[in-house]
Structure 1
């Protein structure tokens, strides 16, 4: 599978810049997100990857967007200078984020879109959206369509298994978790409409 180290380094740089710009120490930001200072340091320096839930927690605490981490916009919300907008986005040009346990997000739009987060999401065997198994919730409405493999979704008190061709939609403020309990990778297309990272919360119970 393709790697995009330049995107990953850009994401780490965005996290460091946002943290220092907010006047937060590694210790203080890690306390707010609920991870250890050493873990945050490893994430910023590329020695460890965050879980999906930890990534949401970081953008929430720093009041930045996922699109900023994926290179879609500068911290002031303007498109990155020199970035050319295209109607067609080639597969090899997608912005990529690799997270803990191998979960991968690939943005399906050339630039950041303030109306929707459109992602191709891959969960390898044994991976989940939360490193500690905690549910997360955030603003907006979530729409998912599974292309291949199997993916277990817990939404509130309900748990079900998605198969290729199945779709799911729910209010993202409902506590939820995705995990791949199968022996093969699962891949799907996800859209989150109306996402506000400042409202993201993990482990709500």
Structure 2
């Protein structure tokens, strides 16, 4: 079974922004990036970095978890009903019973988000209503949670366990090197950043609780 690639994140970000009556420029100002970058993300010309994605979801008051689930974003709203704003692929994804998340997620059927700066998220499971992101995270060689090198902060408590490679965590004013078998946990409101300085992918299981809004 091939991975279940999630439909373009930009379409759901744009939908959430329009539903909240926010202009593209206003959102860009709030998260400290250019309006052109937000536009490129919404149209699929660019993928957001981890830090930009968290900044956008925080500003719009949506969960990272919801970005994996097209069924929720397509659910009846005036904006979602417009074929001009919601690609047909989203509707097809939403009605495909094979894409539903259940108690068991097969290794070949995980939904995947490809982010900027060499980061891949795969959803390991979901319990409806639970306030958690449960992810298999891969940082490719040279990959970073922030292409600009800036630190990020967001809601929730973060737990991570590295299964392969090495990952450098900047947490506040401290820097830690995680190696396979190491684990980490901290409040996600603490400014932080991950990067892979090695020559092999850094892979781990990440759990962020209290992130769903």
Within a 5 Å distance, the mapping from 1:68-83 to structure 2 comes to: 68-71=66-69, 74-75=72-73
Structural RMSD (CA): 2.4
2:113 maps to 1:97: yes
SS of equivalent to 1:18: helix
With over 3 angstroms needed to count, the CA separation of the structure-2 counterparts of 1:87 and 1:167, relative to structure 1, is same
Q: In the TM superposition, what is the alpha-carbon distance from 1:12 to its structure 2 partner? A: 2.1
Instruction: Report what 1:141 is aligned to.
Output: 157
Q: In the TM superposition, what is the alpha-carbon distance from 1:28 to its structure 2 partner? A: 1.6
With over 3 angstroms needed to count, the CA separation of the structure-2 counterparts of 1:142 and 1:183, relative to structure 1, is same
With over 3 angstroms needed to count, the CA separation of the structure-2 counterparts of 1:72 and 1:45, relative to structure 1, is closer
Q: In the TM superposition, what is the alpha-carbon distance from 1:81 to its structure 2 partner? A: 6.7
- Number of aligned pairs? 193
Q: Deviations over 1:59-116 (max 9, x none)?
A: 11111111111117625999x6775452211122212111111201111115655222
Contact 1:72 1:112 in 2 (8 A): no
Q: Normalising by structure 2, what TM-score?
A: 0.82
Unmatched runs of 5 consecutive residues or more in structure 2: 77-93
With over 3 angstroms needed to count, the CA separation of the structure-2 counterparts of 1:157 and 1:17, relative to structure 1, is same
Instruction: Report what 2:20 is aligned to.
Output: 22
Instruction: Report what 2:53 is aligned to.
Output: 55
Contact 1:12 1:46 in 2 (8 A): yes
Q: Normalising by structure 1, what TM-score?
A: 0.84
Contact 2:58 2:154 in 1 (8 A): no
Instruction: Report what 1:201 is aligned to.
Output: none
